[in-house]
Amino acid sequence: MFFPISTLTVCALSALLLVLSFRVIGTRQSRGVSLGDGEDEMLQRRIRAQGNLVEYAPFAMVLVLCAELQIVTPGSMIFTLLLSVTAAAFVLGRVLHGYALSFTKQNARLRILGMQLTIFAMIGLVFLNLAALVM
Protein backbone atom coordinates (compact mmCIF):
# COMPACT_ATOMS: atom_id res chain seq x y z
CA MET A 1 0.00 0.00 0.00
CA PHE A 2 1.02 3.57 -0.64
CA PHE A 3 0.57 6.36 1.94
CA PRO A 4 2.15 9.51 0.51
CA ILE A 5 0.50 12.01 2.88
CA SER A 6 1.55 10.11 5.99
CA THR A 7 5.02 9.50 4.58
CA LEU A 8 5.66 13.15 3.72
CA THR A 9 4.21 14.36 7.03
CA VAL A 10 6.25 12.00 9.19
CA CYS A 11 9.42 12.78 7.20
CA ALA A 12 8.90 16.53 7.64
CA LEU A 13 8.21 16.15 11.37
CA SER A 14 11.22 13.86 11.79
CA ALA A 15 13.47 16.38 10.06
CA LEU A 16 12.14 19.11 12.35
CA LEU A 17 12.73 16.90 15.39
CA LEU A 18 16.34 16.36 14.31
CA VAL A 19 16.90 20.10 13.89
CA LEU A 20 15.41 20.86 17.30
CA SER A 21 17.36 17.99 18.90
CA PHE A 22 20.65 19.27 17.46
CA ARG A 23 19.82 22.70 18.92
CA VAL A 24 19.39 21.13 22.37
CA ILE A 25 22.57 19.08 22.03
CA GLY A 26 24.59 22.08 20.85
CA THR A 27 23.34 24.25 23.69
CA ARG A 28 24.03 21.52 26.25
CA GLN A 29 27.59 21.18 24.96
CA SER A 30 28.28 24.91 24.82
CA ARG A 31 26.82 25.49 28.30
CA GLY A 32 28.28 22.35 29.89
CA VAL A 33 24.88 21.00 30.96
CA SER A 34 24.58 17.24 30.58
CA LEU A 35 21.30 16.68 32.45
CA GLY A 36 18.33 18.94 33.03
CA ASP A 37 18.37 22.55 31.95
CA GLY A 38 21.00 24.03 34.29
CA GLU A 39 18.53 26.89 34.89
CA ASP A 40 19.60 28.26 31.51
CA GLU A 41 16.68 30.05 29.84
CA MET A 42 17.88 29.38 26.29
CA LEU A 43 18.32 25.69 27.02
CA GLN A 44 14.89 25.58 28.67
CA ARG A 45 13.31 27.10 25.55
CA ARG A 46 15.09 24.67 23.24
CA ILE A 47 14.17 21.67 25.38
CA ARG A 48 10.52 22.78 25.38
CA ALA A 49 10.53 23.30 21.60
CA GLN A 50 11.77 19.74 21.17
CA GLY A 51 9.48 18.33 23.86
CA ASN A 52 6.41 20.12 22.57
CA LEU A 53 6.92 18.62 19.12
CA VAL A 54 7.31 15.16 20.63
CA GLU A 55 4.09 15.66 22.60
CA TYR A 56 1.91 16.66 19.63
CA ALA A 57 3.42 14.87 16.61
CA PRO A 58 2.53 11.26 17.52
CA PHE A 59 -1.18 12.05 17.93
CA ALA A 60 -1.26 14.03 14.69
CA MET A 61 0.54 11.25 12.82
CA VAL A 62 -1.94 8.65 14.04
CA LEU A 63 -4.79 10.91 12.87
CA VAL A 64 -3.15 11.49 9.46
CA LEU A 65 -2.50 7.78 8.94
CA CYS A 66 -5.99 6.76 10.08
CA ALA A 67 -7.55 9.30 7.72
CA GLU A 68 -5.33 8.17 4.85
CA LEU A 69 -6.21 4.53 5.50
CA GLN A 70 -9.89 5.46 5.22
CA ILE A 71 -9.54 6.88 1.71
CA VAL A 72 -11.32 4.00 0.06
CA THR A 73 -11.27 5.07 -3.55
CA PRO A 74 -8.64 6.88 -5.60
CA GLY A 75 -11.48 9.21 -6.67
CA SER A 76 -11.69 10.75 -3.19
CA MET A 77 -9.81 13.81 -4.41
CA ILE A 78 -11.54 16.33 -2.12
CA PHE A 79 -10.84 14.21 0.96
CA THR A 80 -7.23 13.69 -0.14
CA LEU A 81 -6.79 17.41 -0.75
CA LEU A 82 -8.30 18.33 2.62
CA LEU A 83 -6.09 15.79 4.38
CA SER A 84 -2.98 17.06 2.57
CA VAL A 85 -3.71 20.69 3.44
CA THR A 86 -4.53 19.85 7.05
CA ALA A 87 -1.36 17.77 7.48
CA ALA A 88 0.71 20.58 5.90
CA ALA A 89 -0.91 23.10 8.27
CA PHE A 90 0.07 20.91 11.22
CA VAL A 91 3.68 20.71 10.01
CA LEU A 92 3.78 24.48 9.43
CA GLY A 93 2.37 25.07 12.90
CA ARG A 94 5.07 22.89 14.44
CA VAL A 95 7.79 24.61 12.40
CA LEU A 96 6.63 28.08 13.47
CA HIS A 97 6.32 27.06 17.12
CA GLY A 98 9.70 25.30 17.13
CA TYR A 99 11.38 28.24 15.39
CA ALA A 100 9.87 30.75 17.82
CA LEU A 101 11.05 28.79 20.85
CA SER A 102 14.38 27.46 19.66
CA PHE A 103 15.70 30.09 17.26
CA THR A 104 14.43 33.38 18.70
CA LYS A 105 14.87 34.97 22.07
CA GLN A 106 11.16 35.64 22.38
CA ASN A 107 8.69 35.73 19.54
CA ALA A 108 5.23 35.35 21.06
CA ARG A 109 3.45 36.10 17.76
CA LEU A 110 5.10 33.22 15.90
CA ARG A 111 4.70 30.90 18.86
CA ILE A 112 0.98 31.70 19.17
CA LEU A 113 0.46 31.35 15.41
CA GLY A 114 2.28 28.00 15.52
CA MET A 115 0.04 26.74 18.31
CA GLN A 116 -3.09 28.01 16.57
CA LEU A 117 -2.17 26.17 13.38
CA THR A 118 -1.35 23.06 15.39
CA ILE A 119 -4.63 23.07 17.30
CA PHE A 120 -6.81 23.91 14.29
CA ALA A 121 -5.05 21.26 12.20
CA MET A 122 -5.59 18.62 14.88
CA ILE A 123 -9.26 19.57 15.14
CA GLY A 124 -9.44 19.28 11.35
CA LEU A 125 -7.79 15.86 11.46
CA VAL A 126 -10.30 14.66 14.04
CA PHE A 127 -13.19 15.86 11.89
CA LEU A 128 -11.72 14.32 8.73
CA ASN A 129 -11.45 10.96 10.48
CA LEU A 130 -15.00 11.18 11.82
CA ALA A 131 -16.30 12.25 8.40
CA ALA A 132 -14.53 9.31 6.78
CA LEU A 133 -16.33 6.97 9.15
CA VAL A 134 -19.74 8.12 8.01
CA MET A 135 -18.94 8.38 4.26
Contacts 24+ apart (CB under 8 A), 94-100: 94/13, 94/16, 94/53, 94/56, 94/57, 94/118, 95/16, 97/49, 97/52, 97/53, 98/16, 98/19, 98/20, 98/49, 98/50, 98/52, 98/53, 100/49
Please state, in angstroms and rounded to a whole number, the distance separating the CA atoms of residues 18 and 65. Answer: 21
Kindly report the number of other CB atoms within 10 A of residue 67's CB atom: 26
The fold of 4-134 is Four Helix Bundle (Hemerythrin (Met), subunit A) (1.20.120)
pLDDT given at position 74: 60
pLDDT given at position 102: 93
pLDDT given at position 4: 94
pLDDT given at position 113: 97
Going residue by residue through the chain, which has 135 residues, state the pLDDT in tens, using 9 for 90 and above. Answer: 789 999 999 999 999 999 999 999 999 999 989 898 889 899 999 999 999 999 999 999 999 999 999 876 666 888 999 999 999 999 999 999 999 999 998 889 999 999 999 999 999 999 999 988 887
Q: In terms of residues, how long is the chain?
A: 135
Listed residue (24, 45, 20, 42) closest to 34, CA to CA? 24
pLDDT given at position 134: 83
Please measure the distance between the N-terminal and C-terminal CA atoms of the chain and give it in whole angstroms: 21
